[in-house]
Amino acid sequence: MNPTLLMVSSAGLIGLLGLVHLVLTFYGPKHLPRDRSLVEAMANMAPEITSQTTIWKMWLGFNASHSMGLLLFSLTYTYLALAHGEVLFQSCFLQGLGLAALAGYVLLAKLYWFIPVLAGASLSLILYLSSIAMAWAA
């Protein structure tokens, strides 16, 4: 194993989670409430902050933007590892930024989400840390 492969694996895994989340946000019933009447209630209710949207549209937007953040992380760190590994593996800022993002996703998964997401985010974090550790040891 080399640091680049571990980094790409970490980024690819978190990107896969983001892609699956994005698809499930717009297709199929997996992100719908079990009580389908809640969808109708959300679709007919505006938040206090504005009457220009509904709770349901906000729900879709928040889920889509969350997915986009995961995909952005994945594409950015994959690109850096493959095209500019010397920059990534010598930059404490970029390493710390990635670490903070992945640790944040693990914490959110632990507090608010469910076991498969926690496992995926945790594995991505472990691969990321292994990549950084291996680069530092070289």
Whole-angstrom distance, CA of residue 47 vs CA of residue 98:
33
pLDDT score recorded for residue 5? 97
**How does DSSP classify residue 40?**
H
Q: Determine the Cα–Cα distance for residues 48 and 32; give it in Å rounded to an integer.
A: 23
Cβ atoms of residues 106 and 70 within 8 Å: no
pLDDT at 28: 87
What's the confidence (pLDDT) of residue 31? Answer: 87
Q: What is the pLDDT of residues 6-38, one digit of tens each?
A: 999 999 999 999 999 999 999 988 889 899 999
Measured in whole angstroms, the distance separating CA 12 from the mean position of its chain's CA atoms is 11
Segments of the chain with pLDDT less than 70: none
d(CA 54, CA 59): 9
Structure tokens at 110: 């632990």
Region of residue 115 (left: phi > 0; alpha: psi -120 to 50; beta: else): alpha
Give the separation between CA 22 and CA 66, rounded to whole angstroms.
8
What is the Cα–Cα distance from 7 to 55, expressed in whole angstroms? 37
pLDDT of residue 48: 95
pLDDT for 128 equals 98
Quote the radius of gyration of the chain (alpha carbons, Å). Answer: 18
